[in-house]
Amino acid sequence: MHIHILGICGTFMGSLAQLACDLGHKVTGSDTAIYPPMSDQLRAAGIDIMEGYDPSHLNPEPDLVVVGNAMSRGNPAVEYVLNRGLRYTSGPQMLAEVILPGRWVVGVAGTHGKTTTTSMVAWLLEAAGLNPGYLIGGVPGNFATSARLGDAPFFAVEADEYDTAFFDKRSKFIHYKPRTAILNNLEFDHADIFENLGAIQKQFHHLVRTIPGNGRIILPTGEAALEEVLQKGCWSEVERFGANADIDVQLLSDDGSEFSIRENGKESARVKWNMTGLHSVKNGVAALLAARHCGVTLAQGAESLSDFLGVKRRMELIGDVSNVRVYDDFAHHPTAIATTLQGLRKKVGSEKILAIIEPRSNTMRLGAHRASLPESIVDADEVIWYQPEGLDWSLDDIVSASNSATKTRSRSASSIEAIIADVVAHANGKQPLNVVIMSNGGFGGIHKKLVQALS
């Protein structure tokens, strides 16, 4: 079957393309944002990628068109599909109908940590010799690609709450019907499609309705928004971890690089790994409990976590030049920014931290999190806020609030070149400097440009 994917270079759609290719289908695709690492993976798989959304890409006509959720009415390729009456579907629906039937699905949902936690689950199952299938919205360090069919019953999938397609406004995760579900956390996000937190909770409630009675929901304690979801109705086993739960976590190092899991007051497993931050610890515990539901003991899983290599663009060290360490991080929500910087602070102690933040997500562009941004950067010594084109509000208020309410020195810049020059001026080679670049996009290639300038 010939499958053409509109929006093929998105993390989800690109991963789906690789799975379809592995099933023996001919796969082609169109996109406007063609850049590594996804473009490299697709070309390595022999998938033909076309620039733009010209209807000519659909000649000869494919057997099936998979429409990415970034596509909307008015897009020339979408209009051609509708006018010609071509068979089409969404990415999540195709995954549900073609890949997931008969599989034990482990779905990882939540506002933060989905990609990393899904990667952990896949790795724990892999290290146990189970050869799982998986689909991850990023590039996991322990695997060569972001998706794989696998030959075990188990399939780990990043269960995203974003909407499915222009013709299906349900959250993506509604399609997956997991047997094991991790609910990491829940905050207001995606202001472009959700009116308020309650609207997102409604989608999570719909997810809970799809989990079988012999399935299991895993979540940390203290997540009020998730508890409200479960109060709307829950028909599955629930396993909580954290304070006041049967399963608790004890940090053995201040930065979270070593911790133990205790059940009913007794230590069950101990983890020593390369990850840092309390948020990473929570992700790790959730993954361990999910893997246990699939048959992997906590002790076995804890040992495997020591070999977990993380995910590209999640506090990924991309350069260490002249006493300057440059990290690439995907954080684009105040909570994610705060927890990431907090984890780095615990790791580097009094060393200087400079954060470079691009408010690029749709929610950020709408200004929904403006009030929370100044408090999110308190663990950095300095912050450079990038004012991208198309941002409808000025960062001046954020800079002013940061400088007056925190000890963090903030400033803004409207060009990548100015940011690079600023950082280079701060790099004296004598005192350690940790630079964290935070964006959910390519950020104009600033990562490589900065490392080259420092070199």
Strand, coil or helix: what is 97? helix
Give me the torsion for CA of 17, 74, 389, 169, rounded to 10°: -60
What lies within 8 Å, CB to CB, of 47 at 6+ separation is 8, 17, 18, 21, 27, 28, 29
Give the span between the Cα atoms of 453 and 200, in whole angstroms.
Answer: 43
DSSP state of 324: E
Domain residue limits, the chain: 2-91, 100-305, 316-454
Q: Are 161 and 203 in contact (CB under 8 A)?
A: yes
Give the span between the Cα atoms of 283 and 218, in whole angstroms.
Answer: 11
Give pLDDT tens digits along the chain (455 positions).
999 999 998 889 999 999 999 999 999 999 997 777 778 888 888 899 999 999 999 999 999 999 999 999 999 999 999 999 999 999 999 999 999 999 999 999 998 889 999 999 999 999 999 999 999 987 788 888 889 999 989 999 999 999 999 999 999 999 999 999 999 989 877 777 888 999 999 999 999 999 999 999 999 999 999 999 999 999 999 999 998 899 999 999 988 899 999 998 899 999 999 888 888 999 999 999 999 999 999 999 999 999 998 777 777 888 888 888 898 987 767 888 888 888 889 888 889 999 898 876 555 555 555 667 777 888 888 888 887 776 666 677 777 777 666 677 888 888 889 888 888 888 877 788 989 998 877 787 888 888 888 88
**Choices 3.40.190.10, 3.30.230.10, 3.40.50.720, 3.40.640.10: CATH for 2-91:** 3.40.50.720
**Choices 3.90.190.20, 3.20.20.70, 3.40.50.2300, 1.10.645.10: CATH for 316-454:** 3.90.190.20
Give the span between the Cα atoms of 290 and 64, in whole angstroms.
Answer: 34
Beta pairing, strands 147-148 & 133-135: antiparallel
User: Up-side HSE of residue 295: CA atoms within 13 Å toward CB?
Assistant: 11
Give the global pTM. 0.83
The structure tokens 């188990």 sit at 154
Q: What architecture does CATH give domain 100-305?
A: 3-Layer(aba) Sandwich (3.40)
Distance set, CA 98 to CA 12, 24, 135, 451 (Å): 15, 12, 13, 43
Amino acid, single-letter form, for residue 214:
N
Strand, coil or helix: what is 235? coil
Helices of type H across 128-249:
197-210, 224-231
